[in-house]
A and B are shown apart, each in its own frame.
Chain A
Amino acid sequence: MRRALVVDDSLVVRNYHISLLKTLSFEVETAENGAEAYEKCLQNFYDLILCDINMPVMDGYRFTKKVRKLDDYEKVPIILVTTLNSEQDRKKALLAGATLFVVKPMNFDILKKMLEAVS
Chain B
Amino acid sequence: MPKEELIRELFEGSPKRRRLAAEDLAEYGDEQTISALFRAMAEDKNGGVKEVCAESLKRIGGESVIKGAVEALKGEDPLAKALCLDILAHFGEDSIAHLSALLESPDYNDRKYALDALAAIGGGKAMEIILAMTKDPNPNVRYTATEYLADFPKDPKVTQTLKDLLQETDDPYGISTICQVIRSRKEAELLPDLSDKVRHVTDPFIKHWLYKAMVALNGTDHLLDALENALEIRAVEDILKDMILARGEISPEAKGFLREKGIELEERLLKEGL
Contact = CB atoms under 8 A, between A and B. Distances in A.
A12 B176 contact: yes
Interface residues of A, number: 25
A106 B174 CA distance: 11
A107 B79 contact: no
Interface stretch (B124-132, B191-199, B231-239, B266-274): B231-239
A2 B233 CA distance: 18
B142 to A, nearest CB: 12
Interface in A5-33: 10-12, 15-16, 19-20, 22-23, 25, 33
Counting contact residues on chain B (CB < 8 A from A), the size range is 20 to 34
Contact of B173 (A56, A58, A104): A104
B208 to A, nearest CB: 7
Interface string A93-117: 0000000000011111000000000
A10 B209 CA distance: 17
Contacts of A62: 78
Contact of B147 (A10, A54, A57, A106): A10
A57 to B, nearest CB: 5
Which of A34, A54, A57, A59 has the most C-beta atoms of chain B within 10 angstroms of its own C-beta?
A57
B91 interface: no
B147 A56 contact: no
Main SS of the interface on chain B? helix
A64 to B, nearest CB: 13
Contacts of A76: none
Given A15-B180, A23-B234, A105 B78 contact: no
B82 interface: yes
Interface string B117-160: 00000000000000000000000100110010010000000000
B45 to A, nearest CB: 12
A79 to B, nearest CB: 16
Contacts of B205: 19-20, 107-108
A22 B144 CA distance: 24
A53 to B, nearest CB: 10
B173 A107 contact: yes
Interface string B70-84: 000000001101100
Contacts of B172: 16, 105, 107-108
Contacts of B238: 19, 22
Given A10-B144, A25-B234, A56-B85, A15 B79 contact: no
Given A19-B238, A25-B234, A11 B147 contact: yes
Interface in B174-205: 174, 176-177, 180-181, 205
A56 B176 contact: no
B195 to A, nearest CB: 21
Contacts of B235: 19, 22-23
Contact of B176 (A16, A34, A57): A16
A109 B238 CA distance: 20
Interface string A38-61: 000000000000000011111100
B168 interface: no
Contact of B82 (A15, A19, A56): A56
Contacts of A54: 78
A15 B176 contact: yes
Given A12-B143, A12-B147, 18 more contacts: A10-B147, A12-B181, A19-B208, A19-B235, A22-B234, A22-B237, A22-B238, A23-B234, A25-B234, A54-B78, A56-B78, A56-B79, A56-B82, A59-B78, A62-B78, A105-B171, A107-B172, A107-B173
